[in-house]
Amino acid sequence: MQIREIHEKYKARELTISDVLEQVFDTIKSKENEINAYISLYEDEARERAVELEKNLSDDISPLYGIPVAVKDNISTKDMDTTCGSRILLGYRPPYNATVVDRILNQGAIIIGKTNMDEFAMGSSGEHSYFGPTRNPHNTEYVPGGSSSGSSAAVAAGEAVAALGSDTGGSIRQPASFCGVVGLKPTYGRVSRYGLVAFGSSLDQIGPITNSVYDSAILFTAIAGFDPMDSTSVDMPLPDINEIFENYDKNRFTIGIPDEYFVEGVNEDVKSGVLEVAKRFEEAGFKLKRISLKHTEYAISVYYIIATSEASSNLARYDGVRYGFRAKGYETLDEMYKKTRTEGFGEEVKRRILLGTFALSAGYYDAYYLNAQRARRLIKEDFDTAFKDVDLILTPVSPTPPFKIGEKIEDPVSLYLSDIFTVTASLAGLPAISIPCCRSKNGLPIGFQLIGRPFDEKTIFQAGRFYEEFLKDEG
Ligand code: GLN
C-alpha cells in the first residue's frame, strides 16, 4: 500500500480512513505474532482519530491525511510509550512530542504504534531489543536488519503504510534494504532531532521508511525543515513535492561508482545486483564515472569511536532517577545507579558505553577520539572531491544480503564491519537512500544506495523515482 494511492482514493471517496486503518490492523493481527514489529499499539486511539479525520475530509487534504504511520520507539510521543527497545525505559512516556511527530500529526497522519528496534538504536540486525527480535517478513528465519527493524518490517509486511525510523550509521537504509522497502537518511541538519532520543548526536537523523520513492518524498517533506528547538537544524529552502518531481524524468545525472565499494568480500548477489542498476541507468542516458573514496577503509573504526563516545555521554542520564526502570534491593544511591544500569541495559549497550568511555578517557582521548575526528574530515573531503564531478554516488547498502537470526549474534565485530557502506555517508552528514533492486539466491531483498550532495535530497528522489518507474523489473 502506498501513501500516494491511498491519498487519491480518499479524495475520490473510494476508500474511507477506517477502511485503510482496519486493513492495517487485520494485517497486524495475522502477522504480528511472527514478525514482532511493534513494541506498543494504540488501536483505540487510532480508530477514534480515524473517525474524526473522516468527518473533516476535504478535497485539499495533505498527502499524509488519514495515513496509518508507525513510529520508531526512540522518537518521543507524548501519549505513548517511548522505550528505545530498552528495559531501562520501561513505562516511560515523554512529556512532549518530537517535532517530527507534531509535524505528521498536523498533516493528519494516524500514529498506530511504536516500533521495535535494537536497544537505543545500537545494532544492525533487530536482535538487540528487550522486547525480542523482529523477523524479516520475507522469511522469518532471517533478520530484518536494524536498528529500525520494526519500522522496516512493518512497512514491508503491510503492518503500516509508512514509518519513521532513525539512522545514525545506517539504521534506516540497511533494514530498508533487508526488508525490500525504501529508506532515506536525510542530510544531517535537515530534519529536527528534537525529541529523538540521542545515541550519537553528531550523526543521528530521523527519516522515512516507505513502499516507494514517491512516498519517501511525501514523508520527508512533511518532517523536514528548520526547527528552532534543535540547534543543529539548518534553515535552508525545502522543495515541496511538486517541485521535487517536476520533470524528474528529463534529467540525466552523472553517477559516481566508487572502487572501494565493489571490492572482494562483497557478496556476489549484492555486487552484481547493484552493478546491474548502474548499467540500467547508463542505458537510459545517465553518465557513469568511476571514482575513489579512498579513506573508506577507516570508516568503521572512526564510526565506532565517535558513535560510542557520544553514546557513552548521552546514556549517562539513565540512572534510575529520572526515567523508567529502577532496580530493587539497593542500600546506597551508588548501588541504586549501578544495579539499575546493570539490569536495565542489554549487552550491546553496555559494550558501547564501555568502548566510548574508554575512548574518551584521559590519556586515550587524543589517540582515539581526536584522531577519529581527523579521519572523519578526510572521509568527508573524499566526498567533497567526488561531488565536483558527479551528482550522485551509487553503492551497495550492505555487503551481504539478510542473514539468519542468531548467525552473527556472538560476533559483534563482524556485525560492526557490515556497516561499512552506510557509515561513510553518515560521517560526512550526507543524504542517502536505499531502494530495493533485486533478490539474493535465497530470495531475500537486496537494495542499492544513492548518496547525494548535502541538502540535495531532490536529486536523490528524482533519480530514485526514475529507477522505480522506468528501470526496475516488474513484480
Ligand atoms: N548499525 C550501526 C550501529 O550499530 C548503526 C546504527 C544506527 O544507525 N542507529 O551503530
Give per-residue pLDDT as tens, 16-70: 999 999 999 999 999 999 999 999 999 999 999 999 999 999 999 999 999 999 9
- Residue pLDDT, tens place only, 176-209: 999 999 999 999 999 999 999 999 999 999 999 9
Distance 125 CA to ligand 1 centre (A): 10
Cα–Cα nearest to 202, from 76, 348, 303 = 303
Pocket lined around ligand 1, Cβ cut-off 6 Å = 121-124, 147, 167-171, 199, 307, 419
What are the φ and ψ backbone dihedral angles of 313, each rounded to 5 degrees? -75, -45
**Distance set, CA 362 to CA 314, 367, 369 (Å):** 18, 10, 11
Distance 169 CA to ligand 1 centre (A): 5
Residue 304 has pLDDT above 60, yes or no: yes
Angle between helices 299-314 and 420-428 in degrees, nearest 10: 70
**Cell of residue 308, nine digits:** 560510542
pLDDT of 323: 85
For the CA of 170, the nearest atom of ligand 1: 8
Question: Is 148 an annotated catalytic residue?
Answer: no
For the CA of 418, the nearest atom of ligand 1: 1
For the CA of 419, the nearest atom of ligand 1: 1
Question: Is 250 an annotated catalytic residue?
Answer: no
Residue 275 has pLDDT above 90, yes or no: yes
Q: Whose CA is closest to atom 10 on ligand 1?
A: 122
First CA to last CA across the chain, in angstroms? 14
Asked whether 85 and 128 are in contact (CB, 8 A), the reply is yes
Asked whether 40 and 80 are in contact (CB, 8 A), the reply is yes
Paired strand residues for 450: 394, 433
Paired strand residues for 185: 432
Q: How confident is the model at residue 362 (pLDDT cuts 50, 70, 90)?
A: confident
Range scoring the smallest mean pLDDT among 8-17, 265-274, 408-417: 408-417
- Residue pLDDT, tens place only, 239-251: 999 999 999 999 9
* Helix or strand (DSSP H, E) at 345: none
Distance 124 CA to ligand 1 centre (A): 6
Q: Which residue segments constitute the domains of the chain, with CATH numbers given? A: 3-245 (3.90.1300.10), 301-366 (no CATH)
Distance 291 CA to ligand 1 centre (A): 26
For the segment 431-453, the average pLDDT, to the nearest whole number, is 98
For the CA of 307, the nearest atom of ligand 1: 10
Asked whether 294 and 62 are in contact (CB, 8 A), the reply is no
Residue 310 has pLDDT above 90, yes or no: yes
**Distance set, CA 313 to CA 158, 162, 179, 317, 357 (Å):** 37, 32, 32, 8, 8
pLDDT of 474: 72
**Distance set, CA 456 to CA 212, 433, 469 (Å):** 18, 12, 20
Please identify which of the residues 76, 171, 212, 233 carries the catalytic annotation: 171
The owner of cell 476535504 is 58
Q: Which of 115, 147, 397, 403 to mutate to test the pocket of ligand 1 (most atoms within 8 A of CB)?
A: 147
Please identify which of the residues 86, 124, 129, 147 carries the catalytic annotation: 147
Question: Is 201 an annotated catalytic residue?
Answer: no
C-alpha 168/C-alpha 5 separation (Å) is: 31
